[in-house]
Amino acid sequence: MKRVQFSSASLPYLYLLPQLAIIVVFFYWPSVQAIQSSFYLEDPFGFGSTFVGLDNYTDVLESSSYGEIARFTVVFTLLVTFLSLSLALLFAVKADAVLKGSSTYKTLLMWVYAIAPPVAGLMGVMFFDMHIGPFLEVARLVGWDFRIGLNYFDTAFAMVVISVWKQIPYNFIFFLSGLQAIPKSLREAGAIDCRSGFRRFWTITLPLLAPTAFFLLIINMTYALFDTFGIIDVVVKDKAANNPITLVYKVYMDGFRGGDLGGSSAQSVILMFVVFVLTIFQFRFIERRVHYN
Amino acid sequence: MATISLETIRKVYAGDVEAVKGVSIDIADGEFIVLVGPSGCGKSTLLRMIAGLEDITSGEARIGEKVVNKVDPADRDIAMVFQNYALYPHMTVYNNLAYGLKNRGTPKAEIERRVKEAARILEIGDYLDRKPRALSGGQRQRVAMGRAIVREPAAFLFDEPLSNLDAKLRVQMRVEIKRLQRELGTTSVYVTHDQLEAMTLADRLVVLNGGNIEQIGAPIEVYQNPASTFVASFIGSPAMNLLKVTAGEVGLALESGSGLSGPNSKGKDRYTLGIRPEHLEVSDGPTDGDGLSLEVTVNVLELVGAESFVYASFADGGPEIVLRVPSHARYTPGETLHLKALAEDVRFFDADTGKLIG
């Protein structure tokens, strides 16, 4: 890293100010507000609030629906992360091996990324729609009476499929550029040392992709936890009822639909804590095994 | 250990680019062959076809008795040393050496024995636990060599392995590669564009130009009797002086008009005359006899230490010629010199094809 000498001691802070201002206004301030209001019982019509201590937290953690939604969130996050990472890696490896017309393949695989999550959700909902959805034709062939929005499992299935579909291009771009950064001579040395392409992939390609994969793991978990909000919102059509939802969606429903600002704040503080722990875990235990060049 | 034989090997890339145009070489068991030529001559492509990293468009490649055209690189029983070493960055030196053996199901004790042995020969025993990024260029080069040695393959393939090293290390490693190859007696094919490397390492040189073989032969043979003007100008530094002459009634004439006297090529009146810089000698005046005799003006004197090079030109312009003189000799630019050379040191090349005559 290059060291730069500043003429005045305050100048570097001045340069950092815009970034710091954004973080303070859009992260620290709302976080502090959330923590604060999680200790209060808020009047839904804004006529003042009462301090209730940890009541909001105990209410949240004791409710059975919260536990169920938390379980679904864990399963959903793991599924979406695993599937979108592994499928994207598969596509990237295959696209990397294509010689003729490779740019066409790459473009086709990438452009889904340009679609906004709610639009992706809408397209998915139409794909799985009970009246016009083409997927239902396929499901009917194997005797699956697919009912999105009515059947818990079917709705969850659609959510996972749409979320994975939306995230694959992003992962694909990173995996592909990671693959292309592996020197050709290294692959050739591998080809001479190891006959099995599968084994070569596990012992040479994958370890060299590990930094990319680790970065994507964090990004994908965050995506599955938070950024799938738009997709879930479109799938459940703003009324969750008995459909599966994730914790973030519950924060939104309780706070903005249910008017329980205190409870919603408590939930978001819990979520913040979980993500915090998760990130520390990832950096401490997984990054250690990652080889950086 | 094995012979390698190539039979009219061709390589045509997409878009009808013919990189190798029907090359045939028979390499004896234990022989050190150097493929040398300017960039784009097809030497690396040829090596990569032997390794199996490029498909052979037509022709037949055999390692030992086996035709290997369609054989997987890993099954050809060859080991390759790459220009940028191509060490696995995420593995320790030990694992870099052991990787190829592990994948072939070599017993653990045997792997350990071979790695230790290679480490001893190459003096890399102290770095076995390190990752390649913690090694210097020379050490990486040794590890790359070690990776080839532990495999105990039928043949070593070297793709310009020394070109990323600094000058001093390059000379050191050059000597070491030669010694190692002698000791192990493994058939080796070595690609380089450095003619000094080629001269010092090779049992036999293969000079390539534009996808064709210009000459195959022992280095000294190639040096003394280059098969063409291309080889004459590529092998040797400074290169052989080449003078295009026409035989007249009295002596020879250059295209620029300057005259000189020299030996006649049998039966041709136009030809290219070649003379190595060290065979030209400064004389007191024009000499008679059947040797070469010419008069030039000094342009530059280049002192390189053990010897000096004089660059000189003819009165009417024409090609610049080089001669090798002792380091104590002093010539000043503008000075006129009479040069002579023995008839037996002069080579003749066909004026049109550039091929050696006689």
Q: Could you read off the pLDDT of A112-145 as tens digits, one per residue?
A: 888 887 888 888 888 888 888 888 888 888 888 8
The pLDDT of residue B199 is above 90: yes
Minimum distance, in Å, between the CA of residue A86 and any CA atom of chain B: 22
What single DSSP character describes residue B134?
G
Q: Which of B53, B87, B97 to mutate to test the interface with A (most CBs of A within 10 A)?
A: B53
Greater confidence (A109 vs B144) lies with: B144
Question: Beta B187-192 vs B32-36: how paired, if at all?
Answer: parallel
Whether B103 and A189 lie within 8 Å, measured CB to CB: no
The order of strands in the sheet holding B307-314 is B281-283, B336-341, B292-303, B307-314, B317-326
Task: Kindly tell me the burial class for residue B126, based on how many C-beta atoms sit within 10 Å of its own C-beta (0-12, 13-18, 19 or more).
Answer: exposed
Question: Do the Cβ atoms of B275 and B263 come closer than 8 Å?
Answer: no
Query: Residue B349's pLDDT is what?
Result: 92
Residue A281's pLDDT band (cuts 50, 70, 90): confident
pLDDT > 90? residue B316: no
> Which chain A residues are closer than 8 Å to B63 by Cβ?
none
pLDDT in tens, A55-95: 888 888 888 888 899 999 999 999 999 999 999 999 999 88
Virtual CA dihedral for A225, A228, A229, A235, nearest 10 degrees? -130
Q: What is the mean pLDDT of chain A?
A: 86
Q: Is A189 on the interface with B (CB under 8 A)?
A: yes
> What pLDDT digit, counting tens, does each position of B39-85 carry?
989 999 999 999 999 999 999 999 998 999 999 999 999 999 999 99
A293, A209 Cβ separation under 8 angstroms: no
Contact list in B for residue A183 (CB cut-off 8 A) is 84, 86
B79 chain-A contacts, CB cut-off 8 A: 192
Which amino acid would we find at residue B102? K
Is residue B116 a contact partner of residue B125, using CB atoms and an 8 Å limit?
yes
What are the start-end ranges of the H helices in chain B?
Answer: 43-51, 93-102, 108-122, 137-150, 167-184, 195-201, 219-224, 229-234
- How distant is the Cα of B195 from the closest Cα of chain A, in angstroms? 24
Q: What pLDDT sits at residue B177?
A: 92
Contact at CB, A208 and B75, closer than 8 angstroms: no
* A264-284 average pLDDT score: 88
Q: Give the pLDDT band (50/70/90) at residue B185.
A: very high
Query: At residue B279, does pLDDT exceed 60?
Result: yes
Mutation site, B99, B145, B152, interface A, largest A CB count within 10 A: B99
Distances (CA, A) of B167 to A51, A204, B141: 78, 32, 14
- Please give the pLDDT value at position A3: 67
Report d(CA B321, CA B7) in Å as an integer. 40
Rounded to the nearest angstrom, the minimum Cα separation between B90 and chain A is 6
Nearest CA in chain B to A208: B90
Residue that wins the pLDDT comparison between A282 and B213? B213
What is the rounded CA–CA span in Å between residue B57 and residue B301? 50
Contacting residues for B270 by C-beta, under 8 A, at least 6 apart: B244, B245, B246, B247, B351
Residue A2 is predicted with a pLDDT of 59
Residue B15, pLDDT above cutoff 90: no
Estimate to the nearest angstrom the gap between the alpha carbon of B319 and the chain centroid: 25
Task: Tell me how far apart the alpha carbons of residues A202 and A184 are, in angstroms, rounded to a whole number.
Answer: 17
A36 or A239, which is more confident: A36
At residue B84's C-alpha, the angle toward residues B80 and B90, to 5°, is 90
Average pLDDT over residues B195-211: 93
Reply yes or no on whether the pLDDT at B118 is more than 80.
yes
| pLDDT tier for residue A260 given thresholds of 50, 70 and 90 | confident
A20 pLDDT above the threshold of 60:
yes
Percent of chain A residues past pLDDT 90, beyond the cut:
31
Q: What is the pLDDT of residue B61?
A: 94
Q: Region B162-177: what's the mean pLDDT? A: 90
The answer to whether A195 contacts B74, with C-beta atoms less than 8 Å apart, is yes
Query: What residues of B are in the A interface, CB distance below 8 Å?
Result: 51-53, 72-75, 78-80, 82-84, 86-90, 99-100, 103, 133, 147
B103 pLDDT more than 90: yes
Q: Mind listing the pLDDT tens digit for each residue in A146-200?
A: 888 788 898 899 999 999 998 999 999 899 999 988 999 999 999 999 999 899 9
What is the model's pLDDT at position A117?
A: 76
Search chain A and give the residue with CA nearest B54: A188
Backbone Cα Rg of chain B: 24
Q: Which residue among B73, B90, B147 places its CB closest to the CB of A207?
A: B90
The closest alpha carbon to B281, from B270, B262, B294, B268, belongs to B294
Q: Chain B residue closest to A99 (CA)?
A: B14
Ordered by where they begin, the domains of chain B are 4-232 (3.40.50.300), 238-350 (2.40.50.140)
Chain A CB contacts of B115 under 8 Å are: none
Phi, psi of B60 (to 5 degrees): -135, 130
Closest Cβ opposite residue A183 in set B51, B84, B99: B84
CB A167 within 8 A of CB A124: no
Average pLDDT over residues B236-254: 84
What letter represents residue B358's amino acid?
Answer: G
Percent of chain A with pLDDT over 70: 96
What B259-265 contacts at long range (C-beta under 8 Å, 24+ apart), as own/partner pairs, is B260/B292, B260/B293, B260/B294, B260/B295, B261/B286, B261/B292, B261/B293, B261/B294, B262/B291, B262/B292, B262/B293, B262/B294, B262/B343, B262/B346, B263/B290, B263/B291, B263/B292, B263/B343, B263/B346, B265/B348, B265/B357, B265/B358
Q: What pLDDT score was predicted for residue A10?
A: 86
B234: nearest Cα among B27, B17, B43, B18? B43
**What average pLDDT does this structure show over B304-326?**
90
Mean pLDDT of chain B: 91
What per-residue string of b and e applies to A173-191 under the rule 16 or more CB within 10 Å gives b?
A: bbbbebbeebeebbbbbbb
What average pLDDT does the segment B260-286 reach? 84
Identify the pLDDT of residue B326. 92
Residue B287 pLDDT greater than 80, yes or no: no
Q: What is the pLDDT at residue B47?
A: 95
Distance CA A74, CA A185 (A): 42
Mutate to test the interface with B, among A99, A185, A193 (most CBs of B within 10 A): A193
**What is the pLDDT, as a whole number, of residue A21?**
94
CATH of domain A63-289: 1.10.3720.10
Nearest Cβ partner for B89 among A196, A199, A293: A293
**Which chain B residue shows the shortest CA-CA distance from A292?**
B90
CA distances, B29 to each of B6, B185, B264, B312 (Å): 14, 8, 42, 46
Question: Mean pLDDT, to the nearest integer, of A199-219?
Answer: 91
User: Which are the contacts of B13, defined by CB distance < 8 A and separation ≥ 6?
Assistant: B19
| pLDDT number for residue A1 | 52
pLDDT at A282 over 90: no
**B-chain residues near A192 (CB < 8 A):** 51-53, 73-74, 78-80, 100
**pLDDT at A239 > cutoff 80:** no
Q: Which of residues 157-186 of A touch B (CB under 8 A)?
A: 183, 185-186
Mutate which of A100, A192, A209, A288 to test chain B, going by most B C-beta atoms within 10 A? A192
| Cis status of the peptide bond prior to B219, with omega within 30 of 0 | no
- Give the number of other Cβ atoms within 10 Å of residue B309's Cβ: 16
**Residue A293 pLDDT more than 70?**
no
Residue numbers in B near A206 (CB within 8 A)? none
**Tell me, what's the pLDDT at B261?**
81
Angle in degrees, CA A246, A250, A255, rounded to 5: 155
